[in-house]
Structure 1
Amino acid sequence: MAPFTFIFLALSFVSYVTWKVIEASRRNKIPTALKKLPGPKGYPFIGSVPDVPEKNGFIKFADWSKEYGPIYQVNLAGTNHVWISSDQIAKDLLAKKGSIYSDRPHISALIDDNRTSAQKFANVIMRESEKALFHRYPEIEAKRMLVELLEEPDRYNHVLESFVARVTCRLAWGRSEASDELKQRTRELLIAVSPTGALGNKLPFLMALPDWLSPTKAWERRRARTERSFFETMQKEVEKDAREKKAPQSWMKIFLDSRSKWDFQYELEGAYSVGMHGIAGALTIAAPMQTFCLAMCFYPQYLPMLHEELDRVCGDRLPVAEDRPKLPFLRAIIRECLRWRPPVPTGIPHSLTQDDEYNGYHIPKGSVMHPLEWAIGRDPSIFPDPEAFNPLRWVEPGWPTYQEPLTQFPTIINCTQFGYGRRLCQGQTVADEDLLIGIGSIAWMFNISKQRGPAAENTSSHSIGMNENASISQEELNTGIEKSKSRTTMEDVLLSKYTYPGAFPASRDEEEEKAPKEAKEFSKFDPANIDPTLDFSTLLIAKPLPFKFELRPRDGKRAERVRKLFQEGCEKGEYTDSREFWGHNQGKGKPCGWGKV
């Protein structure tokens, strides 16, 4: 490294440390009569970073709440983080004092933060979508999802994420062809905003360096440029469809139909508002669907109960939106998935814009406030036996969480996982519909269970099985499977080169062949394999890593019916393949394209 470069790096680091020391000194000035929030002492400069494991750090924060109380603070690399493990305290601060607790935390790794909630616009597009039953997009895509699960059950993780991304693309822009691109935009942004993701969030001084000296900054600049181009492209395509009077219903169409009424502050805010709402739902909603599969493997007693309810209400057809009031146990399953393994276990963060106090404690300006959802959903006074997955707590009288009428409750709407006060997630009704139709359709179609015995190891990751009354032959199924395996998709090509958090590494199968047999059923999890249901991804959205289980159609008639419905949709032009946006190899080496994740 050239002397000049070394000196420049050293000066940048010293400047960053000096600024952090000054900030810490200001923060440590406690007003008279107030106390400092409790919390771990930490180390000079880096605070408590070494004490927080990269994997499942939310459990460490929950453990600290048992030691330091329901509100405490932690210094993480010079930034003050306040962790709240009480629903009541979260409401007292983040909701009742929303005027000073609703700012977004600064994300060091972002060069330009174009995330926008556009509150007025968000309220309208969600309300209009809900009134139109989300244009039946979840029901349309559920048929494609089930056929893909029949053909490639070992790729269930990809299939569930594709289902959510396709629905979200239809809602955002009226079409599903951009679903793979939307997933990639989401993966890259998720890395950029996650504390355990981009290096710029761990070493913020790197973002002050020139691009040629800071690969993480250059990566972020290309990500942001690609995101902008994608959003612009999608808006132009809907504009073209609208001029030709063939634009399907979408959030973008709502924006274009009355562009002047939204009071956006910059030219592309509409494009960003639609795009960011799409990104917010593209992978997050898939996490509870993956949790559902995990829960049914470890708590199999609840699947027959769910089957009984779906059969009684839906019979030989797939669930639809109008079934919601008659499916309280399905809604209980969904609600318990969000409580048991919340997709955002550290909560939606807020930033405090001025000094404040709570119960005699000083909370300094600039603190990042975390309603710690992992701990809030484990309050034993509200959730007895909190570590157990138990949907009955929502539908049986006597439990603290039971509410009537069961035509309305349980519901995930306004649950704590969607945030507090002005940072409440605007897309919760979309999540509610996707999960009802998505999980309901999977349960209507399949039996789900752990892999059983040595024989299972000789089959594919997810066994396909038919009962003796099957009206579709195993040979036909095998033909479909082999045909699907020979089909190479855009994601297959790219993800064979690039891995991302939550994906199987390319060498996973080889590693598993070398592993002991007892380790093959579920991913190995440290420390000490305490709980195999906690093998989670490490980024802001925590989801179960891919695991092996059996996914079997309940009977051949259901499989045959779903295939027929999907085929009819294909003939009507309802389903189109994903497309590439950036040319050969998804823009590798070009100004815009997929970044390595």
Structure 2
Amino acid sequence: MDNRIALLLSTSLIAISVASRLSKRRAAEGGSLPPGPAGLPILGNLLAIDSQEPWETYVSWGAEYGDLIYARFFSQDVVIINSEKIAKDLLEKRSSNYSDRPYLPTRLPFGWTHNFAFTPYGNEWRLARRLFHQGFRAEAALNFHPKQICKAHQLLINLYETPQNYADHLTTQAPCSCFKPCAVFSASVAMSVTYDYETAPHNDPLVTVVEKANTLGLQYMTPETTAILSIFPFLLHLPSWFPGATMKRNAILCTNYGVEMVEIPIQYVQKNMASGTAGPSLVSDLLRMREHEEPTRVPEFDQALRQASASAFSGGAETTSSMLLMYTLAMVLHPHVQVRARAEIDAVVGKDRLPGFDDRPSLPYIDAILREVARWQPIAPLAIAHAATNSDVYEGYYIPKGAVVIANPWAMSRNETKYPKPSEFIPERFLDADGALLDIEPPTFVFGFGRRVCPGRHAADASLWVVIAMTLAVFNFSKAKDVQGRDIEFLPKFSAGVTRHPDPFPCRIVPRSGVDMKELARLVDSTA
């Protein structure tokens, strides 16, 4: 009974403190907070959020309160943006005030200092981004084209050999027997350009470590999840043997995975550089830059190098594979899109070779498919949260200093004014009457906003384009058949982890007429 009274008193004091702080701040700053749902004492709006699909909750709030919404997670102010215009007005035009990240009490305990996407705005973040930009800026990303084409060729062979394992070929690891050792596309490209490392045909140890670190760590990096730890930080200080201390045990595991993921591939590059066998890669370039740094700056440079390389691999592989799964789902559900795409490829490229990057300006429908995949099912329905460095006023609404600012790309993708029939897959929405790409901005909200926009977007775009173009040139995608030869109907289901992606679904991937293994080998050789 005494414990219950103590708990009641403490929670009441927290509620009074929060209410008092909000009241004083509004009086001092002037203006009113954006509209939003009423919250519970202490908890705020946490219990009202769909924990599996919070972006849908924010869409429903937007329908009632508008595109700029105020909520509260315990004592944390939260501002949600459902409009692309508002996101650009705040996160881009006022980027000096909205480029920080909210404090995540799990970032250090879970060892997530290796990913600079979560690093607070400041000198540490600037250096890591500058090093990342060294290898992934638009001009430098062109150097990846040969590797991207090579890995796309390997993907074609994998899909030909074992099409039923399409999800493995695009995401994790899968065995295959082809002309040369090969690995799944997304992880293979990321490892190749970052470390000049060739992944094993299946069960590559580094890829496995990254998957474990991402799957375990990212679930603890969202504002919705970490809000409770801001109020009850002792939960991360319980001994790992304590009953119910699952979070503590996961933090130890995730930290260990993170150390392996960061250090082992860098040591691989260093060993190859010492023996003179290192090929071009982001890390080898940065290690050569390190030799010219002032000795006092080397520790800072080393930390930034680790953040840049780990972010390139762990982030790039996951986002690319999720997009490719969405693309595969779209093709299975919309066979008419494939018909138009193949007609364009055949007219421009012919059937004697595979499409390459030089063909891209002449294949606008392929670009339209890529844009529509990104818009139709955003793989990051909620962008990584920003934080307000100082208090601000936008169109008469007060945004408190330290507020968590969450952009909602899912809501932006459902803007019926900009994208009529938003739930439908319509690549033609990006084309004019003559079939040329419209001079309108593609759905860039999938890459984030302002100074925090994804710095690897140029390489990701090229990887996705070449796979879409080549797979449509070689394969037909359709629904799987049952024993009576009838289509197997299914309702797509989605999982959300590091990114949102479709769960495996029944499908049939077969070569186009006239494409056997011999012909595929010839096509690959002709565009190698």
Candidates 370, 374, 380, aligned match of 2:416: 380
Partners of 1:335 and 1:228 lie apart in 2 by: 36
Alignment match of 1:97 (pick from 83, 94, 98): 94
Match of 2:119 in 1: none
* Structure 2 unpaired stretches of 5+: 117-124, 172-183, 200-205
Paired residue for 1:255, among 279, 286, 291?
A: 286
Contact 2:74 2:227 (C-alpha < 8 Å) held by counterparts: no
Decide which moves more: 49-58 or 242-251.
49-58
Matched AA of 2:94: K
Counterpart position of 1:427: 456
In the TM superposition, residue 397 of structure 1 has moved relative to its aligned partner by: 4.4
What is the rounded CA distance, in whole Å, between the counterparts of 1:538 and 1:174 in structure 2? 30
Q: Structure 1 residues 15 and 312, CA, compared in 2 at 3 Å: closer, same or farther? A: farther
TM normalised by structure 2 equals: 0.82
1:331 aligns to what?
Answer: 367
Correspondence for 1:403: 438
* Distance in 1, Cα, partners of 2:307 & 2:402: 26
Deviating more after overlay: 197-206 vs 80-89: 197-206
Residue 224 in 1 paired to residue 255 in 2? Answer: yes
Equivalent of 1:314 in 345, 349, 372: 349
Question: Cα distance, 1:265 vs. partner?
Answer: 2.2
3-state SS in 2 of match to 1:211? coil
Once the 2 structures are TM-superposed, how far is the Cα of residue 215 of structure 1 from its aligned partner?
Answer: 2.5
Could you tell me the TM-score, scaled by structure 1's length? 0.73
AA at the equivalent of 1:553: P
| Percent pairwise identity | 27
Which position in structure 2 is the counterpart of 1:138? 148
Amino acid at match of 1:271: R
Q: Deviations over 1:324-381 (max 9, x none)?
A: 2122111110101111101111123211122221111111122221221111122222
Distance (whole Å) between structure 1 residues aligned to residue 247 and residue 21 of structure 2: 30
Taking the aligned partners of 2:301 and 2:5, their CA distance within structure 1 comes to: 38
Aligned pairs for 1:51-130 (under 5 A) are 51-110=48-107, 111=109, 112-114=111-113, 115-116=115-116, 117=125, 118-127=128-137, 130=140
Mark the CA change 1:330 to 1:558 in structure 2 (over 3 Å): closer, same or farther.
Answer: farther
Q: CA-to-partner distance for each residue in 1:468-524, whole Å, 9 max, x for gaps?
A: xxxxxxxxxxxxxxxxxxxxxxxxxxxxxxxxxxxxxxxxxxxxxxxxxx9x743xx
* TM-superposition CA deviations, 1:414-446 (whole Å, max 9, x none): x12111111111000111011011222221221
Counterpart of 2:419 in 1: which secondary structure?
Answer: coil
Tell me, yes or no, if the aligned pair for 2:210 and 2:257 is still in contact at 8 Å. no
Evaluate the alpha carbon distance shift between residue 311 and residue 11 of structure 1 in structure 2; reply closer, same or farther with a 3 A threshold: farther
Partner of residue 176, structure 2: none
Q: Deviations over 1:222-241 (max 9, x none)?
A: 31233123311211110111
Q: Which moved more, 1:324-333 or 1:138-147?
A: 138-147
Distance 1:563 1:536 in 2: 35
What residue number does 1:38 align with? 35
Find the counterpart in structure 1 of residue 203 from structure 2: none
Q: Is the 8 A contact 1:143 1:565 kept in 2?
A: no
Q: Report SS of the residue matched to 2:438.
A: coil
Distance 1:137 1:48 in 2: 47
Amino acid at match of 2:252: R
SS of the equivalent of 1:354 reads coil
- Which one of the candidate residues 515, 520, 526 is aligned to 1:557? 515
- Count of residue correspondences: 486
- Equivalent position SS for 2:406: strand
What SS is found at the alignment partner of 2:241? helix
Determine helix, strand or coil for the equivalent of 1:36: coil
Do the aligned partners of residues 122 and 24 (structure 1) sit closer, same or farther apart at CA in structure 2, a change above 3 Å counting?
farther
Answer whether contact 1:195 1:202 (CA < 8 A) is retained.
no
Which residue of structure 1 lines up, in the alignment, with residue 21 of structure 2?
A: 26
Structure 1 pair 381–230 and aligned structure 2 pair: CA distance change class (3 A): closer
Q: Which amino acid aligns with 2:505?
A: F
**Contact map agreement 1:81 1:367 (CA 8 A) in 2:** yes
Give deviations 1:394-426, integer Å, cap 9, x for gaps: 112499x9634xxxx8766xx121111111110
- CA deviations on 1:520-561 (whole Å, 9 max, x unpaired) are 743xxxxxxxxx34x221335111121112212113425433
Secondary structure of 1:370's partner? Answer: strand
Q: Deviations over 1:158-202 (max 9, x none)?
A: 211231111001111011324343333333332332467789869
* Stretch deviating more after TM superposition (180-189 or 383-392): 180-189
Deviations 1:39-75 (Å, cap 9, x if unpaired)? 1113223222332223333122112111100100222
Q: Which sections of structure 1, spanning at least 5 residues, go unmatched?
A: 1-6, 458-517, 523-531, 575-597
Q: Which residue of 2 is the match for residue 579 of structure 1?
A: none
What is the SS of the residue equivalent to 2:496?
coil
CA RMSD of aligned residues (A): 3.4
Letter in 1 for 2:334: Y
Displacement, 1:15?
Answer: 7.5
Asked whether the equivalents of residues 445 and 558 of structure 1 are also in contact (C-alpha less than 8 Å), the reply is no
Question: Would the aligned equivalents of 2:209 and 2:257 in 1 still touch at CA under 8 Å?
Answer: no
Distance 2:26 2:98 in 1: 19
How many angstroms apart in 2 are the aligned matches of 1:133 and 1:18? 59
- 1:465 counterpart residue number: none
1:251 Cα shift? 0.7
Instruction: Name the counterpart of 1:166.
Output: 188
Distance 2:525 2:67 in 1: 54
The answer to whether the Cα contact below 8 Å between 1:394 and 1:410 also exists between their aligned partners in 2 is: no
Say yes or no: does 1:155 pair with 2:151: no
Equivalent residue letter for 2:72: N
Rounded Cα–Cα distance in structure 2 between residues aligned with 1:236 and 1:20: 51
**Letter matched to residue 255 of structure 1:** L
2:212 to 184, 195, 200: 184
2:313 corresponds to which of 265, 275, 278: 278
> Which secondary structure state, in structure 1, belongs to the residue aligned with residue 69 of structure 2?
strand
Q: CA deviation at 1:260?
A: 5.1
Are the aligned partners of 1:336 and 1:391 in contact in 2 as well (CA < 8 Å)?
A: yes
Distance in 2, Cα, partners of 1:234 & 1:453: 45
Matches of 1:456 and 1:189, distance apart in 2: 43
Cross-structure match for 1:49: 46
CA distance in 1, matches of 2:423, 2:466: 26
Take 2:326 and 2:147, find their aligned partners in 1: how far apart are those partners? 22
- The answer as to whether partners of 1:195 and 1:539 remain within 8 angstroms in 2 is no
Equivalents in 2 of 1:398, 1:204: separation in Å?
Answer: 60
What is the SS of the residue equivalent to 1:83?
strand
Letter in 1 for 2:432: E
